[in-house]
Amino acid sequence: MKACIMCGGEGTRLRPLTFDRPKPSIPIMNKPSVVHLIEHLAKEGFNEIVITIGYMAEKIEESLGDGRMFGVHIDYVYEETKLGTAGSVKNAEEYLKDEPFIIVGGDHVMDLNLRNMYRYHETNDAMVTIGLMSIDDPREFGIADMDVNNRIHRFLEKPGPGEIFSNLASTGIYMCCPEIFDWIPENQQYDFAKDLFPALMNDDRKINGMLVRGHWTDVGSAHAYREAQRWMLESLPGTSIEGNFKTKNSRIVGPLKIGNNVSVGSNSALVGPIVIGENTTIGNNVLIGPYTAIGSNCVIKDNSRILSSYIFNDVTIGNNSNASGSIIDNNTVIGKNCSMENGTVIGPRVNINDDSTIHSDVKIWPEINIKAGSRIKETIIDPEFE
Ligand SMILES: CC(=O)N[C@H]1[C@@H](OP(=O)(O)O)O[C@H](CO)[C@@H](O)[C@@H]1O
């Protein structure tokens, strides 16, 4: 079965994490999130995949290659100018024109039964079947109203106040018949939700909805990213430790996934679910709390506490510092006695000098140097990176 993954976007809402990588390359449990997506598609039987790429395209090709290591075949289609969601898929028409196919966003993280959805689409005569989820607050989504036969009669993108006629949100997962290509103009900005669906409905073409259950999120914001990591960590099957793990009388409670060559000093506690990459060193009296992922080549020094945080690669955290509900990007160095409060997002190559506090929800752009003893209450943007 065929799938198309849209990976062209710039992911501006996820800055500073998208300066060095596109959104689908942000790590979840130390792997680019799009790798998890490909693994899921492969498991569901979608083994011919075409990916539309644009912003930092090479990073995506680097981690997926031709798909062989996931048991699938991947082709790439490059988007020169911004074509919108449907416009970018039109670009991939030559790979998709022979049979029904699924479209997903490159930032989707899910465990949904896509095979069922595909079957359902095949046995109905709709041009598109949209995966719908019941969501309490669907303002950030397209919303749909469907009848008892699953036909969608109304669709509204990002409803305003007083316009929320349904709590069925579009997941942006679309099962499509190749005939949709006849409706999408070439080399022109064109969108599924804003252009194609209204056009099809106006012409009385059938669009169906299918209610899906399970985990699904698009990693569109730091909040959604934390949520996606959390339930991926929750699904860790047990404890696996690769070779050369060293520890002295520390308390280790699973589930954990620990890479090669990790060491933990004495009197520390690791309370899962936790994932730690290779060559990471954890000092003495360190508490690493549940729902934490730490990448490779990190150093977490004595007496520090890391709780529900996502630390990428080559990060150093000094003595007696703590991070809670934080995201810290590659090559950032944090001094001693520092505190990263809940919801902070620290970009790559940042230096936070000793005795500093980064207050909750503050974001710090790449390569910023925070002076010792600072109290940072507002996001720091570097105009050079805009
Ligand atoms: C214009 C468009 O395609 N909007 C889609 C799309 O929204 P974004 O804000 O562009 O991610 O994905 C949503 C699901 O993630 C879906 O609900 C919505 O209809």
Per-residue pLDDT of 281-301, as tens digits, reads: 999 999 999 999 999 999 999
Q: Which pTM value belongs to this model?
A: 0.95
CA distances from 33 to 38, 64, 75, 94 (A): 9, 11, 18, 27
Task: Judge contact between 144 and 168, C-beta under 8 A.
Answer: yes
Q: What is the pLDDT of residue 81?
A: 85
Query: Which residue, among 220, 257, 191, 298, has the nearest Cα to 33 in the 3D structure?
Result: 220
Atom of ligand 1 nearest to the CA of 169: 17
Separation of CA 141 and ligand 1 centre (Å)? 6
* Per-residue pLDDT reduced to its tens digit, 77-109: 998 888 999 999 999 999 999 999 999 999 999
Distances (CA, A) of 284 to 249, 274, 287, 316, 320: 10, 18, 9, 15, 10
Range 66-82 average pLDDT: 95
Evaluate if residue 382 carries a pLDDT over 90: no
Peptide bond into 348 cis (omega under 30): no
> Residue with the nearest Cα to atom 6 of ligand 1?
172
- Residue 131 CA to residue 192 CA, distance in Å, equals 13
Please spell the DSSP secondary structure of 254-307, one letter per residue: SSEEE-TT-EEEET-EEESSEEE-TT-EE-SS-EE-SSEEE-SS-EE-TT-EEE
Contact 11, 20 (CB under 8 A): no
**Exposure string for 177-205, b = 16+ CB within 10 A, e = fewer:** beebbebbeeeeebbbbbbbbeebbeeeb
pLDDT at 359: 98
Out of 157, 194, 195, mutate this one to test ligand 1's pocket (max ligand atoms within 8 Å of CB): namely 157
The CA distance from 171 to 1, in Å, is: 20
> How far is the C-alpha of 305 from the C-alpha of 177, rounded, in Å?
52
Q: How large is the average pLDDT for residues 361-376?
A: 97
Instruction: Kindly report, residue by residue over 214-258, the tens digit of the pLDDT.
Output: 999 999 899 999 999 999 999 999 999 998 999 988 999 989 999
Distance 143 CA to ligand 1 centre (A): 10
What residue type is 111 in one-letter code? D
Tens-place pLDDT, residues 132-170:
999 999 999 999 999 999 999 999 999 998 999 999 999
**Mean pLDDT, the chain, integer:** 96
SS3 state at 363: strand
For the stretch 24-57, pLDDT in tens is: 999 999 999 999 999 999 999 999 999 999 999 9
Q: Whose Cα sits closest to atom 1 in ligand 1?
A: 193
User: What interface predicted TM-score (ipTM) does this complex get?
Assistant: 0.96
Residue 383 has pLDDT above 90, yes or no: no
Contacts of 208 (CB under 8 A, 6+ apart): 121, 124, 126, 128, 129, 130, 146, 150, 151, 152
% the chain with pLDDT above 70: 100
Output the six-digit token pair for 303: 């007496």
Tell which residue, 215, 303, 173, has the closest CA to residue 28: 215
Instruction: Give me ligand 1 centre to Cα 98, in Å.
Output: 26
Q: Is the pLDDT of residue 384 over 90?
A: no
Sign of CA dihedral 40, 46, 52, 58: positive
Expressed in angstroms and rounded, the spacing between residue 5 Cα and the centre of ligand 1 is: 14
pLDDT above 90 for 385: no
CA 93 to chain centre: 26
Q: Higher confidence at residue 385 or residue 329?
A: 329
258: burial class by Cβ within 10 Å (0-12, 13-18, 19+)? buried
Per-residue pLDDT band for 386 (boundaries 50, 70, 90) equals low
Tokens of 204: 């009385």
Per-residue pLDDT at 59 exceeds 80: yes
Given a cut of 80, is residue 172 above it in pLDDT?
yes
Gap between the Cα atoms of 95 and 4, Å rounded: 9
